[in-house]
Amino acid sequence: MSENRKERKIQIINVILFVVLLTVGGIASLIPKKEAVSEIENRKLTPMPSYSDSLFWSGGYFRQLDLYYSDNFPLRNKWINISTDFRSKLGYQSSEIKIYDPINDTEANEKIDTTKEEKVKDGPLPDDGATGEVKKRVFVFKNRAFEMFGGGPAMGTSYANVINSYNKLLPGVQIYNLIIPVALEFEITEKYAKLQKPNRPAIEHIYNTLDSNIKKVWAIDEIRKHRTEYIYFNTDHHWTSLGAYYAYRAFCNTAGLTPVSLENIPYKTKASFLGSLYRLTRDAGLKDNPDSVRYYLFPDSLTFYVGNSKNISNWTKSKMYGEGASGSNSYSVFLQGDLPVVKMETQHKNGRKIAIVKESYGNAFAPYLINNYEKVLVVDQRYFTGDFIALLKAEGINELLFINNIFAAHTPFHIEKIKGLKK
């Protein structure tokens, strides 16, 4: 057999193998059940495009088809995990600093001490030799992930001025402001102190700019006493229900209320929660240090309603917790996630009716107030589009709490959304 015929045979075999693999792969991609959402990426997957002549001739049909197959190839999640693990084993890093810390005591996540109030000084902790890495603007340190605050006083002033405008608009309504610090405020060591601006001076600047009759809640000081407890998630940007509880205690102190004790309150837990900061960094250390989401089952009788932005008198009975939340969406168990407006009516007949204006941090905080208020109205500043002032009047609200994490209080988007509620 001549060399040319051998080469020709090899080429034919290669073509046949290629066609067979392509055919098998195509069939395999059609057989498995297609998922609408990727849990590990927390996003919607591209659906199969609907054919139209205009989409076909514009080339858009094939672009969408390509995205569909990219999002739905067989064993996609396994390949993503294999790739992430492989990069980690090679020592891949996105900056000059890398964490190598074997400590992973997940059991500590479930330990709660609601009575111990450790005296802790402000400022960074002493350097303990642990090293960290900045990945995609997230600081990964001791198998935990942290956002880094860098907001300036100008934005803080803008936020305070918007809150002041409500104080002038709503005479007779007691207004409170609560700024939530980020987790790194309590975990940063002297070695990495320059990674973020200290939270307390930024909060103090906002509070000093607020009108004197607006009550300021110093949640940061109460949370700091419990910095060694499980108050922020390891892999997500939110606080835990315990962190929210300590802020609630600070609020009660400011509002003249008696906080509920968690000592004998039953609870449920959603385990194996890998949150937003894990999805962003795909860090192997975070994957080995998953979170759990605890939510408390308060004994008080409660009627929970979901509202409608377009019709403020339209309420539908529902449940305070979204029991179906799971996996990367577990934090949505609180108030069923980021609904535009919800209302909780309790058996307390003390005349105290409060509205909370919040972003997602407020979801874990709001349930505690059913232990103290006759009515709790919760409005998400990002999604509510109705007549906010009319809603407050219709529901007889006499107290108003603005609760935001420190990033939101220094972000034009959130400041404008809060301002936009008063049309």
Could you read off the pLDDT of 383-409 as tens digits, one per residue? Answer: 999 999 999 999 999 999 999 999 999
When pLDDT is cut at 50, 70 and 90, the band that residue 104 belongs to is very low
Q: How confident is the model at residue 62 (pLDDT cuts 50, 70, 90)?
A: low
Does position 114 have pLDDT exceeding 60, yes or no?
no
**Residues 124, 172: Cα–Cα separation, whole Å:** 41
Determine the pLDDT at residue 47.
Answer: 73
Whether residue 307 contacts residue 265, with contact meaning beta carbons closer than 8 Å, is answered with no
Cα 218 from Cα 228, distance rounded (Å): 19
What three-state secondary structure class fits 95?
coil
Average pLDDT over residues 225-236: 97
Q: Cα–Cα–Cα angle for 55, 56, 59, nearest 5°?
A: 85
Model confidence at 90: pLDDT above 60:
no
- Can you tell me which residue has the tokens 């709660």? 112
CA dist 246 and 38 (Å) reads: 34
Q: Is 80 exceeded by the pLDDT of residue 102?
A: no
What percent of the chain is helix, strand and coil (3-state, nearest 5)? 40, 20, 40
pLDDT (tens digit per residue) in 308-358: 988 999 999 999 999 999 999 999 999 999 999 999 999 999 999 999 999
Specify the pLDDT at position 10. Answer: 77
Contacts 24+ apart (CB under 8 A), 417-423: 417/381, 417/382, 418/159, 418/162, 418/163, 418/357, 418/381, 419/162, 419/165, 421/357, 421/379, 421/381, 421/384, 421/388, 421/389, 422/165, 422/166, 422/169, 422/388, 422/389, 423/387, 423/388, 423/389
- pLDDT at residue 109 tops 50: no
pTM: 0.76
Q: How far apart are CA 277 and CA 144, in angstroms?
A: 9
- CA gap 61, 68 in Å, rounded: 10
CA distance 150 to 22: 50
**Which of 158, 165, 159 has the alpha carbon at shortest distance from 180?**
159
- Identify which has the larger pLDDT, 409 or 118: 409
368 close to 248: Cβ distance less than 8 angstroms:
yes
Q: What pLDDT digit, counting tens, does each position of 23-34 carry?
A: 776 666 556 665
- Please name every residue paired with 305 in a beta bridge, in sequence order, or none if there are none: 317, 343
CB 132 within 8 A of CB 99: yes
Average model confidence (pLDDT) across the chain: 85
Residue 68 confidence (pLDDT): 60
Which is higher by pLDDT, 420 or 116?
420
Distance CA 99, CA 285 (A): 9
Start-to-end CA distance of the chain, whole Å, equals 87
Q: What are phi and psi of 237, to 5 degrees?
A: -80, -10
- Helices 153-169 and 412-420, axial angle in degrees (round to 10): 10
| Cβ(234)–Cβ(145) below 8 Å | yes
Examine the pLDDT at 96 and tell me if it is beyond 80: no
Cα 147 to Cα 56, 90, 139, 144, 293, distances in angstroms: 43, 26, 6, 10, 19
Poorest-pLDDT segment among 18-22, 261-265, 311-315: 18-22
Question: From the CB of residue 326, how many other CB atoms can be counted at a distance below 10 Å?
Answer: 16
Query: What is the pLDDT, as a whole number, of residue 93?
Result: 40
| Res 71: pLDDT | 56
**Which residue type does 4 have?**
N
Residue 305 phi, psi dihedral angles, 5° rounding? -125, 145
